Amino acid sequence: MTRHQISVENLRKSYGQLEVLKGVSLAADKGEVVSLIGSSGSGKSTLLRCLNLLEVPTSGALTLEDQPVEYVVRNGALNETRAIRQYRASLGMVFQNFNLWRHMTAAQNVQAPLRHVLGLSKSEAHERAERALEQVGLFDRRDHYPSQLSGGQQQRAAIARALAIEPKVLLFDEPTSALDPELVKEVLNVIVKLAEGGATMMLVTHEMRFAREVSSKVAFLDAGQIEETGPPSQVFDAPSSERCAQFVSSASH
């Protein structure tokens, strides 16, 4: 039986002399939603980027479904093995700035990784893309280009792209921070539906009410370390860390 869907143990990340992550250990079990909170510069986004090896950890262990992820650095760059490509294809990543290709429609954006990363046939990629766009409520805008979509619709297209690869874990890096306030809710509603459907997720968010309502577990990062972790009721209402209590109090006002 799988203990953790995804986990990191004693993860460290340095840029030269600057140590951004200082021995972080965190796990998400199947169907769990783990929210990472903390002030800017605390290491939340770096942790997420290390999880899918967009950034290569300086040291530490990564596992997916309890299987160790072997990563090797050669001349300062990640050695892109077949196992690494398979691992990355198991993770769906949603960025704060959408990262859609401007010259492709929403449907083409969703199909691109299915064709070029997973090697699916045109018809299979088309079917999966339509299903994913339907799931995020964007089926009727599938032939629109990013410039014809609102920020919320662009982010939903980006979520559809991550969903379509049928990942084992979804990673969200501040998915609403680039959106106007009135568009935030439509994206959060999609994430809530995914959580209700049993998706395993790790997300960096500044939306405290959302983190409280949707998370199975919340981790508060401060200066590259996890200061507090536990169910939302503990982290928000009865934190043992003074720094966490300060942050939650200021973020709630």
List, for residues 184-221, the tens digit of each pLDDT value: 888 999 999 999 999 999 999 998 989 998 999 999 99
- Mean pLDDT over 95-104 rounds to 90
Cα–Cα distance, 46 to 41 (Å, whole number): 9
CA distance 35 to 219: 6
The answer on pLDDT for 81 being more than 90 is no
Band the pLDDT of 72: cuts 50, 70, 90: confident
CA-based nearest residue to 109, from 59, 70, 146 = 146
The structure's pTM equals: 0.92
Locate all alpha helices (DSSP H) within the chain, ordered by sequence. Answer: 44-51, 82-89, 106-116, 122-135, 151-164, 181-196, 208-214, 232, 242-251
Residue-level pLDDT at 143? 96
pLDDT of residue 132: 94
CA atoms of 89 and 87, how far apart (whole Å): 5
Task: Give the pLDDT band of residue 78 (cuts 50, 70, 90).
Answer: confident
Calpha distance 107→129 (Å, rounded): 6
Q: What is the pLDDT of residue 7?
A: 95
Q: What percent of the chain has pLDDT over 70?
A: 99
Residue 252 scores a pLDDT above 90: no
User: How many Å apart are CA 19 and CA 100, to the nearest integer?
Assistant: 31
pLDDT of 253:
61
